[in-house]
Amino acid sequence: MLSPQLNGAPKALHARHLAYDPEAARRLLAEAGYPNGFSVGLQCTNNRYVYDEQICLALVPMLGRVGIKITPQLEPIAKMSVRWNTQDASFYMIGHAGLPMADSFALLSDVAATRTKTAGGLNIGGYSNPAFDALLPKIASELDMTKRNALMAEATSIIRNDVAYIPLHQQPITWAARKGADLKQAPDNQLRLWLVTAP
């Protein structure tokens, strides 16, 4: 869930967590009371991330293999932002660059914290785990980087074991500039012209 480029991202937790096992997925669906699967809408942006619409559409047959029938709901970020702010989404695709500090804490606090007035603003699905939430103020106030990173690894383990989110991919950022130009690549993929110098 965390890019290895973010400060505090635990390298040991970067590998795939669960094996590809459609049979196990069908068994779990049957145990949950859905032996024939179920239908659900999947809200995705179509102008926010690289290939976001194509990624969303690729999920339809993948989840269909285990009986989850997806109706893709593709919308521009302006409309999707309204959904996120009002929690009007049941199954959705979202990304986070770890801003403003390119640090894992921003993603943990914004995406996985129990939604309150000050945290969990991008936690549209309502995930909540008191053990996870209890770690956030400790991470925020810890000045020793080794201890802080250990706390972030513990928090990441909790949401990973809860399968709070299903990481799909990490979007690489590719920029190019002509020889002699100097620019600063930001993790949010936005170009700040005041940071560019040209020959």
Mean pLDDT of the chain: 91
In this predicted structure, the answer to whether residue 124 has a pLDDT above a threshold of 70 is: yes
What confidence score (pLDDT) does residue 25 get? 96
Tens-digit pLDDT profile for residues 47-104: 998 899 999 999 999 999 999 999 999 999 999 999 988 989 889 999 888 777 778 9
Residue 192 pLDDT class (50, 70, 90 cuts): confident
CA distance 73 to 39: 13
Distance CA 24, CA 179 (A): 53
Name the CATH architecture for the domain at 11-195.
Roll (3.10)
**Stated pTM of the model:** 0.84
